[in-house]
Structure 1
């Protein structure tokens, strides 16, 4: 004890010097940029970010608005960060994803979670080659196949919701129900028959570990949620790799594709066989384990973002009865649940107003509000400010969605109809699917899924949301959702539920 007391002044002095130099380093990077002038050593403002992400990012936005800079700064877990509010500056980040500028990370600690060799970390020709291989997954024929799988899964889950004994009397939250529905939809669409039985159950357990760990501090030690998430990702990738191998076997037999991985493996097999005939080594990105990693990227990109959009669609339709009435009228003129038939691809294209609603939901509440990048080198963001190397940069697609558009704070699907075409006029501000070389390749699939859900949910059910103070406030889980998880009471509005085999 005496030894410690004698050393205490020295320890205190060392810590004081360390904290002082860390603060000086932060201010040197900050310069004139809007942001806090003092940050706690090492942890920075991580506690406020974890406790209330909405307030944290609202404050960053307010600081960015306080000057004409279009951005603000902060410090979290030893990392200097830059929050981008300006649409033009966000495009500058998205357009400069390359080794000597910005590296897309998808999540501040994404490389620890996903590994370093997945799609979101690729750049240049390697990235272009992989996107070329992915393109056949989203042709009209492929999307038509997915449309059927999406509807069967949506209807299965909607029936389970309405079969609940309290569904018409007691409000229940939709978030976890939508999440489970979307996870099964992704499984059915991406790997279809190749994931079944115990492997499907374990898949769902592991994905839940991953989901929980996304929002936790990156403590990679046994017993911590982040470690559980990282190990779960490894297991998920291996499982999806087995699915890819099984698909290769099936496609070699010349069978018709029944899910996304089948469409992918058709061309992959041809490439592998051509390489073998030419005496060359197997082409890159064609091994089953690599494809498993890319399939997980798809799952991550579609799962939580889609859940967010479904919840906001229900919430916004409930609070805008005029929009709900127009959706029901359009859908009723094209498809009836009592027909016992699925919505065809042709009918889906006819639902133009319903698609406008879907696009406005995505604009008004962009699911993934920010797309983190890391500065690989010092980068001149403006004439006066250079982003230091190693900075985590957060271009805000959410903020861009409220810039340029006519009365952007209003939920107004008509803005995307033919007579106004704000999706074309303000295309640069509509960045919910990203921009530049890493723009989402599956955006048509995502919009189809939201349109199908809206069409079926509103046709099958009368629903009323339980409104409470703050229920529409944004909660990060990790994409944005209504704070109350969208609690509703539902009743069947048609004579019977579709009985599709």
Structure 2
């Protein structure tokens, strides 16, 4: 036996003893944080229950919900990749988290490993006055005038993609899944609405490739090594931000000429240029904050991420739920046909969009019934007293569940019922605190009107243009995470043209 082997044999018991001791300490630390809160009593060292989370996210979070229901606390705990987590089912406790986003309480992260993936620029990491100032600068992007501009861009893109679906040789012969088609449609919609003419040709192709890298890495473990999906996603984000920064700079150049805005970044740069000019007139040495093109590129990426997968989720659930509720589908078609038809060869106007009250109620009920981003991760920056009997330890990842809140308070909440959002019942006002799909507090989604408009436009056009039938199989409507939720079968349908022809908008 050589000397190296002898030393290893001699050291082996000590190494094993040390490993066992560290595992024991990790378990004790977990139980110390857990206390009497519902959650697993034993966890695997370091990785905790990460394997079950990655393997079947739906089952993992359902189990957390069941554990939270098992007591009157309204929350449960677990352990993932060396991090203690708290899952919050109670609406009141979720509001307590949303209302306390500040340095000495909760830090919104949007994704458990978001800072590594998105970088430090992200709007959701800002707090206090800096966050208020940036939201004030973003506000002109969502005025009625701006939204009216976007609805035209949205409709052109929706119609383009719906036509391509119909022209597919398989569309009316066998079922095909809509998820990737909706995702591609939404990505192009976001590109057209946010940066319009400034992203074209090769830059648009590279953008789509990089966004795919980002999408793949979202659901992977944060292993930041060359060749891993997470590293590829992180590098792709940097390239995406650089591309969007060029778009912002090009928009500044165009807006200096006095032309009218044609997309979101134009509205943004129009206001930014006014602030820069005012600062120069006042003799200030530095440009106003949040006016740098690279920083704006980062915020544009934040918008893109916030709108892309959430919107795809809602479109898929809209098709799924309309197919399974023919009475709702018929009411939508009746309302829309009295306001707009494809044969009119026109786009839906802003005024017509406002008239589609029942269709909007359907859109809002889709978002309530299947909230796309079911969880909103935060990190406890300091120990925080969540209840009179439990303090969340510093460093804990906290998951308020907006999905769980959506099924609390509302009348017959487990039923898909768009009438709850009509004027006669006004459940959106009566149970407003439970409608958390767009968040709450200082970080509530600034683009929620845009998101609802997009869903209403899609529903109106899809149901007017197509007869559709879902290919129903066992468990097809079960929830799966990709990373937002969608039907397990990716919403397979058979399409046939309902109207005489597509709108002629040339």
* TM-score interval, normalised by the smaller of the two chains: over 0.9
Q: Check whether the contact 2:121–2:299 (CA below 8 A) recurs between aligned residues.
A: no
Q: How does 1:312-461 map to 2 (within 5 A)?
A: 312-461=317-466
**1:251 aligns with one of 241, 255, 280:** 255
Measure, in 1, the Cα distance between the counterparts of 2:414 and 2:422. Answer: 18
- Long gaps (5+) in structure 2: none
Measured after TM superposition, the shift of residue 20 of structure 1 is 0.3
Measured after TM superposition, the shift of residue 8 of structure 1 is 1.2
RMSD between aligned alpha carbons? Answer: 0.5
**1:49 aligns with one of 40, 53, 71:** 53
Measured after TM superposition, the shift of residue 5 of structure 1 is 2.1
Q: Kindly report structure 1 stretches of 4+ aligned residues shifted beyond 4 Å.
A: none
| 1:206 counterpart SS class | helix
Residue deviations 1:246-278 (CA, integer Å, cap 9, x gap) = 000000000000000000011100111111222
Measured after TM superposition, the shift of residue 7 of structure 1 is 1.5
Establish whether residue 467 from structure 1 lines up as the match of residue 453 from structure 2. Answer: no
Q: How many residues align?
A: 501
| 1:83 counterpart SS class | strand
Establish whether residue 270 from structure 1 lines up as the match of residue 235 from structure 2. Answer: no
User: 2:303 maps to what in 1?
Assistant: 298
User: 1:209 maps to what in 2?
Assistant: 213
**1:165 aligns with one of 166, 169, 173:** 169
Measure, in 2, the Cα distance between the counterparts of 1:306 and 1:24. Answer: 42
| 2:132 counterpart SS class | helix
Measure, in 1, the Cα distance between the counterparts of 2:283 and 2:237. Answer: 35
Q: Check whether the contact 2:365–2:418 (CA below 8 A) recurs between aligned residues.
A: yes
Measure, in 1, the Cα distance between the counterparts of 2:448 and 2:498. Answer: 31
Measure, in 2, the Cα distance between the counterparts of 1:173 and 1:496. Answer: 23
Residue deviations 1:329-386 (CA, integer Å, cap 9, x gap) = 0000000001100000000000000000000000000000000000000000000000
**2:191 aligns with one of 187, 203, 217:** 187
Establish whether residue 106 from structure 1 lines up as the match of residue 106 from structure 2. Answer: no
Measure, in 2, the Cα distance between the counterparts of 1:473 and 1:296. Answer: 30
Establish whether residue 490 from structure 1 lines up as the match of residue 495 from structure 2. Answer: yes
User: 1:89 maps to what in 2?
Assistant: 93
Measure, in 1, the Cα distance between the counterparts of 2:405 and 2:244. Answer: 35
- Long gaps (5+) in structure 1: none
**2:146 aligns with one of 136, 142, 147:** 142
| 1:261 counterpart SS class | helix
TM-score norm. by structure 2 comes to: 0.99
| 1:356 counterpart SS class | helix
Measure, in 2, the Cα distance between the counterparts of 1:299 and 1:232. Answer: 14
Measure, in 2, the Cα distance between the counterparts of 1:319 and 1:434. Answer: 28
Establish whether residue 284 from structure 1 lines up as the match of residue 289 from structure 2. Answer: yes
User: 1:119 maps to what in 2?
Assistant: 123
